[in-house]
Amino acid sequence: MSNTFTRLCKTLTIGSAAVLLAGTVAQARDLTIVSFGGNFQDAQRELFFQPFAEKLGKPVLDEAWEGGYGVLQSKVKAGQPNWDVVQVEAEELALGCADGIFEKLDWEKLGGEDSYIPGSTSECGAGHIVWSVAIAYDGNKLTDAQPQSWADFWDVEKFPGKRGLRKTAKYALEAALMADGVPQDQVYETLSTPEGVDRAFAKLDELRPNLIWWEAGAQPLSMLQTGDVVMSSVYNGRITGLNRTEGTNMKLVWNESIYAVDSFVILAGAENKDSAQDFIAFANAPENLSKLPAKIAYGLPVKAAAEMVPAEFAADLPTNPDNLAVSLNLDVDYWVDNSEELTERFNAWVAQ
Predicted pLDDT of residue 68 = 87
Regarding predicted confidence, which is higher, 23 or 96? Answer: 96
Residues of the chain with CATH 3.40.190.10: 26-130+261-324, 132-259+330-351
CA pair distance 88, 72, nearest whole angstrom: 10
CATH of domain 132-259+330-351: 3.40.190.10
Residue 7 has pLDDT above 50, yes or no: no
Residue 25 has pLDDT above 60, yes or no: no
Decide: 154 and 206 in contact? Cβ < 8 Å: yes
pLDDT in tens, 255-305: 999 999 999 999 999 999 999 999 999 999 999 999 999 999 999 999 999
Predicted pLDDT of residue 27 = 55
Predicted pLDDT of residue 59 = 96
pLDDT in tens, 51-77: 999 999 999 999 999 888 999 999 999
DSSP 289-312: HTTGGGTS--B-SBHHHHHTS-HH
pLDDT in tens, 103-162: 999 999 999 999 999 989 999 999 999 999 999 999 999 998 999 999 999 999 999 999
H runs (alpha helix) in the chain = 3-27, 38-44, 50-56, 69-77, 90-99, 150-154, 169-179, 187-191, 194-207, 219-226, 236-246, 273-283, 286-289, 303-307, 311-314, 321-324, 332-351
Specify the 3-state DSSP secondary structure of 88.
strand
If we measure between CA atoms, which residue out of 324, 318, 331 comes closest to residue 173?
331
Average pLDDT over residues 239-246: 88
Specify the 3-state DSSP secondary structure of 111.
coil
Is the CATH number of domain 26-130+261-324 3.40.190.10?
A: yes
Average pLDDT over residues 176-186: 97
